[in-house]
Amino acid sequence: MDAVKSEGSRLVRLEVDGGIGTIRLDRPPMNALNVQVQEELRAAAHEATAREDVRAVIIYGGEKVFAAGADIKEMAGMGYAAMAARAVALSGAFDAVARIPKPVVAAITGWALGGGCELALTADWRVAAEDATLGQPEITLGIIPGAGGTQRLARLLGPARAKDLVMSGRRVPAPEALAMGLVDRVVPRDEVYSAALELVRPYVNGPALALRAAKQAIDGGLDMDLASGLAWESQLFAALFATEDKVEGMAAFVEKRAPKFEGR
């Protein structure tokens, strides 16, 4: 397989099976995140958001590597004006993945560095191979993360650990990433995708609108003070009382049976 596919070919695709959509990166050998990959990630995220047959999402780079970072050759010739125009689109592409209103897990093999680590951070959870390596090495290039790394790391790990990773540029092996909370599960390499499937499969038949509201409440509340967050939670909570899934869930509880949610 060619190291870089032709410009007209798809480098990111959404594969759907059994209610689970896999956003699959396919730009060997390292899944470098060039502009085409960034825009196709945005499109895949929008498709996963819109499709009713997608109830949960896995982000996957394949058996060898998740994504080793940005396409440095593409970026090297860019000056301030060019990157100032591109940076918003870059951040927006990753934000589209973060805003998928469904459970999302990143299945990480090999490298998840720079933009690859930032892509993993857009997921709700991260499953990593035992020999995976994560990190934000942009500082070694004289820059900083530009697709959410400084912001999502600080929210996930706290400012001190985020500064350690961003300002040192050091690479973090999977066991340390697990210990610090950067990943949520570590498994043998050949079990990464199946472990990700296992993590999100229970949500396929869950109450889709309540799951969306839960994600919106938690993610949105992180950017609010407590009083505003509680008001936001109350609004989302009350809105679910207009759904058929609320009626079904409570009826099933009263009738002592398993609920059959329809996502309505």
Q: Show the tokens assigned to 171.
A: 């690479």
> The tokens 């596919």 sit on which residue?
5
Contact criterion met (CB below 8 Å) for 35 and 82? no
> The tokens 């998740």 sit on which residue?
66
Out of 7, 63, 138, 248, the active site residue is: 138
- How many angstroms separate the CA atoms of 38 and 75, rounded? 13
Out of 15, 39, 118, 198, the active site residue is: 118
Give bridge partners of residue 134 from the DSSP assignment: 112, 172
- How many angstroms separate the CA atoms of 99 and 257, rounded? 33
**Is 47 tagged catalytic?**
no
Kindly provide the residue ranges of all beta strands, DSSP E only, lying in the chain, ordered along the sequence.
12-17, 20-25, 56-60, 104-108, 111-113, 125-129, 133-135, 171-173, 185-187
Q: Which helix (H) or strand (E) holds 45?
A: helix 35-50
Query: Which residue pairs from 157-161 have beta carbons closer than 8 angstroms and sit at least 24 positions apart in sequence?
Result: 157/181, 157/182
**Is 118 tagged catalytic?**
yes
Q: How does strand 12-17 pair with strand 20-25? A: antiparallel
> The tokens 């994600």 sit on which residue?
215
- How many angstroms separate the CA atoms of 229 and 155, rounded? 15
Q: Show the tokens assigned to 88.
A: 């918003």
Q: Which residues are catalytic?
A: 118, 138
